[in-house]
Amino acid sequence: MFAQQTQKPPLHGKNWMAITGKPLAATAGSMIFQKGGNAVDAACAMLASTCTMWDVLSWGGETQALIYNPNTKKVIAINAMGVAPTGATPEFFKSKGYNFPPEYGALAATTPGTPGGICYMLSNYGTMSLKEVLAPAMELAAGYPIEAQTANSMEKGKAKIKEWPYSKKVFLTHLGQKREAPEAGEIFVQKDLLNTLQKMVDAEQEALKKGKSRKEAIAAAYDRFYKGDIADEFVRGAQEQGGLITKQDLANWKPVEEDPTHINYKGIEVYKLQQWTQGPALLQALNILENFDLKSMGYNSSRYIHTIYQAMNLSFADRDFYYGDPRFAVNQPMQGLLSKAYAKQRASEINFVANNPNAGPGDPYPFEGKQNPYLNLLKSRGFTPTADTSKSRSFVPAHDAVAMVSKPDAEYMDRLWRGTTTVEAADKEGWVVSITPSGGWLPAVIAGNTGVGMSQRMQSFVLDSNINPFNVVAPGKRPRVTLTPSMAMKDGKPMMAFGVQGGDTQDQNLLQFFLNVVEFGMTVQEATEAANINTNQLWLSLGGSKLEDRKPKPGNLLLNNNVPDWVRKDLRGMGYSLSFEERTSGPINAILFDWKHGSIWGGSSNHGEDYGIGW
């Protein structure tokens, strides 16, 4: 067991645990728990609060969740990801000169998913009314002391914010002064958002007065947002600012409950969302790594780092080519991609002498007894998948790869690390919730007088099937997102819930967090603070309007400043280009169940403003 001193104390609780991206939002979760709510109620309250506080997301964004239901003893997945609106086609965006849908503005918006996700989770798995659960968020909207991080994001993005009249009205409270955004500690008021949330609560309460059930009343609030006067104003404001979203788009959308994806790693069932997220890439990497004795390599030794890097590159290469919304997919090879036999083949491709700068997607179709329908497409990219691993493999030809650089520029790293938040909650009854919500981050377009920031998730689509045939934009389709909550079960009981912010680095950091606990015996707090590595040898999912902005950077490896000289020397000898940071992971939040002692452990990273409370 590791026994290192952590910068933040581990959290302990007997009854419940609430962890999220802002201290006030964690307090909101604790308030709900103290009033008798379960983990779903508390998670919904934390989610509503983080949206209200613009914790790198807002109310018009998207929600992705895993929930363990102790009554059914099953993990379920909640897909509250918005969809591409009417008119969002490759031809439309190409006609405007885009290589990817834009990263800013009303054209970047999918339909809002978070309000519907909250209503769905609360209605089906919570115990409280929407009025009770939204009370903390509404109090925040009425005015709360804004933190420096959020206030400074508003100031930094004010040039863009000024392009959008409704955003300017909300965010730039000192227009015309040297600092136009709020100051840290200033009471930040959002009257329009408060009015929108009040309308939803009013719809619920009116339904209850008419004798409707709790579920029917929450549905009335849902309908007011997606079909009523809130929808009218949202669509009006979106279209006024150049967006495509229609009233019908909102009315047609709904959250979906799904089966999660999962694999078994050494007796632990690890759960992720389906392939409209990048989540299965972590599962693929675990399947590959199961073929090696990681513990004997030593934590963050050169051999361990090299092995992790290679496994991630192989799984991300598959992500970049095969993942996308399964509702629009024909013949998507997820069974093959997640098979142990395919993972064994991929593991055999790892060269332990040097980095493979040409790691590319494999051919999972034979592992389903099928033939790959995309062989010609892969060949056009300079790659011929083969089961014969003695033959050289090449996927990223010279014109596809970005040359190695000593250190990525700040703009690239911003796109790689672009944040969100996480919500983790658990209670003594056994309810466990892991949410990675996002969308509508600053600088955001606010849709009319709703106070609701619009999502920017359209940018995660591609416009060309040559990059990924499963993730080409289409109306009604969900983009393949980076957002990826996690859960683990052992011996039929919940073991861990964990999540992190940080774009394409999410499943890189969560993979290492999981291994830190399972292979190296760290506590969850130690594992959230432990030094990780990041690979840039993948296609970026966010930011940049040109192909060049998103192409892989082969061999580019981010390490913690504390990595010893001999490890650095070994890695450079393997062909890596190294860069270093004090912190190499987004803020990881996690909950672990200690069934031996009947207690709950919480871990909340020292890398941001994330905070947890337990009791």
pLDDT number for residue 65: 98
Secondary structure of residue 231 in the 3-state scheme: helix
> Are 250 and 234 within 8 A, CB to CB?
yes
Nearest by Cα to 243 from 422, 88, 20: 88
Per-chain mean pLDDT for the chain: 93
Q: Is it the case that residue 57 has pLDDT exceeding 90? A: yes
Give me the mean pLDDT over the 206-218 stretch. 98
Identity of residue 44? C
> Are 253 and 312 within 8 A, CB to CB?
no
Please work out, in degrees rounded to the nearest 5, the angle formed at the alpha carbon of residue 113 by the alpha carbons of 109 and 115: 125
Counting Cβ atoms within 10 Å, is residue 370 exposed (0-12), middle (13-18) or buried (19+)? middle
Q: Is it the case that residue 417 has pLDDT exceeding 50? A: no
Longest dimension (CA), the chain: 73
How do residues 25-41 score in pLDDT, each as one tens digit? 999 999 999 999 999 99
Separation of alpha carbons 497 and 513, rounded Å: 11
pLDDT number for residue 397: 29
Q: Is it the case that residue 597 has pLDDT exceeding 60? A: yes
- Confidence band of 76 (pLDDT split at 50, 70, 90): very high
Separation of alpha carbons 92 and 88, rounded Å: 6
Residue carrying structure tokens 């581990």 = 10
Task: Tell me the C-alpha to C-alpha distance, in Å, between residue 104 and each of 109, 137, 236, 269, 543.
Answer: 8, 26, 18, 38, 9
Token reading at 69: 């239901």
Separation of alpha carbons 444 and 109, rounded Å: 10
pLDDT number for residue 384: 67
pLDDT number for residue 495: 98
Q: Which helix (H) or strand (E) holds 191?
A: helix 191-209
- Please list, residue by residue across 257-289, b when 16 or more beta carbons sit within 10 angstroms of its beta carbon and e when fewer do: eeebbbbebeebbbbbbbbbbbbbbbbbbbbbb
> Are 434 and 499 within 8 A, CB to CB?
yes
pLDDT number for residue 398: 29
- Answer yes or no: pTM beyond 0.85: yes
Domains delineated in the chain: 11-258+421-492 (no CATH), 273-414+508-581 (1.10.246.130)
- The number of C-alpha atoms within 13 Å of 190 and in the hemisphere containing its C-beta is 30
565 Cβ contact list (under 8 Å, min separation 6)? none
Q: Is it the case that residue 135 has pLDDT exceeding 50? A: yes
How do residues 144-182 score in pLDDT, each as one tens digit? 999 999 999 999 999 999 999 999 999 999 999 999 999
How do residues 509-559 score in pLDDT, each as one tens digit? 999 999 999 999 999 999 999 999 999 999 999 987 788 888 999 999 999
